[in-house]
């Protein structure tokens, strides 16, 4: 992982300082207690700067690179949706795609796809075991690195080679799926935002039942 510039500067100064302390001690004609104490303090300061550089990389980790996902940018909205629900779907999906690392958003309600937005695949999506587990538990499932999960083929129809997926249940009747651009791309605030919009979307769909207009 590449070091940010401030960490490089801190590491360089610390390494140079430690090297100068060693040279100074070795080149001194007479080793006195005062020189030893000064050398120890200088060495501690140099090592401290080097530790700051290491901790800096942990505090500000390098973001994962975006995966080159294949798909055409677009919006698919189910026909004959109630106007308030259509507005909510349009607003929320646009916010996710612009304010989070989301590459694709899909909303499924009572086995009917109401919305697909972002990078679109040509294949229809059908929920599998992971989605069923999220519905059964009533809790979101965050797959931070999809390549590590044996059941990742379930989401190939959402978008091939997706590196990360959020599966947010909508009560026990629907799903909100959000695919990310890179592994571990979704932050804690993204998870909270998706959960909040999922609750709002559920209330909207229970009030304006889209199955009655299908």
| 65, part of any domain | no
Q: What is the pLDDT of residues 113-167, one digit of tens each?
A: 999 999 999 899 999 999 999 999 999 999 999 888 888 899 999 999 999 999 9
- The SS3 assignment for 178 reads strand
Say how far apart CA 56 and CA 58 lie, in whole Å. Answer: 5
**Confidence bin at 57 (pLDDT 50/70/90):** low
| 166, part of any domain | yes
Say how far apart CA 155 and CA 158 lie, in whole Å. Answer: 5
Q: What is the pLDDT of residues 4-38, one digit of tens each?
A: 777 788 888 888 888 888 888 788 787 778 878 88
Residue 55 confidence (pLDDT): 77
> Do 167 and 114 belong to one domain?
yes
> Do 148 and 191 belong to one domain?
yes
| Helices (runs of H) and strands (runs of E) counted in the chain | 5, 6
> Do 35 and 89 belong to one domain?
no
In the chain, the number of structural domains is 2
> Do 135 and 169 belong to one domain?
yes
> Do 83 and 39 belong to one domain?
no
Report if pTM > 0.85: no
What spatial distance separates the first Cα and last Cα of the chain, rounded to whole Å?
Answer: 51
> Do 55 and 76 belong to one domain?
no
Residue 68 confidence (pLDDT): 84
Average pLDDT, the chain: 87
Residue 212 confidence (pLDDT): 61
Mean pLDDT, range 42-48, rounded to an integer: 84
> Do 111 and 205 belong to one domain?
yes
| 158, part of any domain | yes
**Confidence bin at 44 (pLDDT 50/70/90):** confident
Residue 156 confidence (pLDDT): 92
**Confidence bin at 48 (pLDDT 50/70/90):** confident
Residue 155 confidence (pLDDT): 95
| 178, part of any domain | yes
Taking a C-beta distance cutoff of 8 angstroms, is the pair 99, 189 a contact? Answer: no
| 67, part of any domain | no
Q: In what order do the strands lie in the sheet with 164-170?
A: 72-77, 112-120, 102-109, 174-180, 164-170, 141-143
| 39, part of any domain | yes
Mean pLDDT, range 157-182, rounded to an integer: 94
**Confidence bin at 50 (pLDDT 50/70/90):** confident
Say how far apart CA 41 and CA 142 lie, in whole Å. Answer: 48
HEC assignment per residue over the chain: CCCCHHHHHHHHHHHHHHHHHHHHHHHCCCCCHHHHHHHHHHHHHHHHHHHHHHHHHHHCCCCCCCCCCCCEEEEEECCCCCHHHHHHHHHHHHHHHHHCCEEEEEEEECCEEEEEEEEECCCCCCCCHHHHHHHHHCCCEEECCHHHCHHHHHHCCCCCCCCEEEEEEECCCEEEEEEECCCCCCCHHHHHHHHHHHHHHHHHHHHCCHHHCC
> Do 42 and 88 belong to one domain?
no
| 64, part of any domain | no
**Confidence bin at 213 (pLDDT 50/70/90):** low
Residue 60 pLDDT > 60: no
> Do 83 and 29 belong to one domain?
no
| 66, part of any domain | no
End of a domain among 59, 85, 104? 59
* Residue numbers of the domain that contains 119: 72-212
> Do 32 and 78 belong to one domain?
no
> Do 152 and 200 belong to one domain?
yes
């Amino acid at each position: 992982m590449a070091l940010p510039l401030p960490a490089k500067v801190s590491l360089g100064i610390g390494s140079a300082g430690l090297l100068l302390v060693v040279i100074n001690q070795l080149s001194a004609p007479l080793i006195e207690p005062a020189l030893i104490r000064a050398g120890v303090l200088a060495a501690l300061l140099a090592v401290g700067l080097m530790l700051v550089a290491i901790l800096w990389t942990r505090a500000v980790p390098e973001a994962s690179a975006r995966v080159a996902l294949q798909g055409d940018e677009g919006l698919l909205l189910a026909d004959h949706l109630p106007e308030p629900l259509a507005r909510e779907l349009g607003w929320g999906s646009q916010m996710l795609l612009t304010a989070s690392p989301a590459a694709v958003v899909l909303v499924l309600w009572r086995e009917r796809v109401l919305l697909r937005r972002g990078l679109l695949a040509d294949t229809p999506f059908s929920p599998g075991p992971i989605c069923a587990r999220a519905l059964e538990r009533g809790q979101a499932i965050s797959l931070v690195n999809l390549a590590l999960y044996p059941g990742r083929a379930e989401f190939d129809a959402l978008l091939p080679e997706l590196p990360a997926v959020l599966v947010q249940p909508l009560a026990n009747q629907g799903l909100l799926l959000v695919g990310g651009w890179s592994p571990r791309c979704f932050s804690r605030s993204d998870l909270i935002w998706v959960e909040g919009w999922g609750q709002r979307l559920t209330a909207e769909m229970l009030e304006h039942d889209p199955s009655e207009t299908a």
